[in-house]
Amino acid sequence: MPTAPDIAESEWSVMEALWESSPQTASEVTKALRPTMNWAENTVRTLLMRLVEKGALKTDENASGTRTFLPAVKREACVRAEGESFMQRIFGGAAKPLLVHFAQNSKLTAEEVKELKRLLDQNLNS
């Protein structure tokens, strides 16, 4: 799969629906998003076509000849790219201020703190 394209906030909802289940037609994506977004099908079609143009989605046809959409990039790659972009924009690319901010402002459970410590220790040893 190619590297992650820049995905706008509204496009994330479409991508999430397709990462969860694909391939889907535009109507199926609209139906999946309706409970949370209440977008018209034309809005969803516009977002789908933008994502195709960006290389985030690819198209195919189902048995009845209707265009279907499926992810061309993995969710993990997009999350990683978004995280790096956020860290660069907000913290100048420095990880320490980012980690300090989240440690001070997040309500982490003891289990989450333990997991973060494990990950940081693992990072030191690699």
| pTM, to two decimals | 0.77
The domain limits of the chain are 1-92, 94-126
Condensed to tens digits (0 to 9), the pLDDT of residues 61-110 reads 999 999 999 999 999 998 998 888 888 888 888 888 888 888 888 888 88
Fold of 1-92: Arc Repressor Mutant, subunit A (1.10.10)
Residues ≥6 apart with Cβ < 8 Å to 67: 25, 26, 59, 60, 61
For residues 63 and 25, the answer to whether their CB atoms sit within 8 Å is: no
pLDDT band of 18, cuts 50, 70, 90:
very high
Condensed to tens digits (0 to 9), the pLDDT of residues 33-66 reads 999 999 999 999 999 999 999 999 999 999 999 9
Predicted local distance difference test score (pLDDT) of residue 1:
45
The neighbouring-strand residues paired with 71 are 57
Instruction: Give me the residue label for tokens 């109507």.
Output: 27
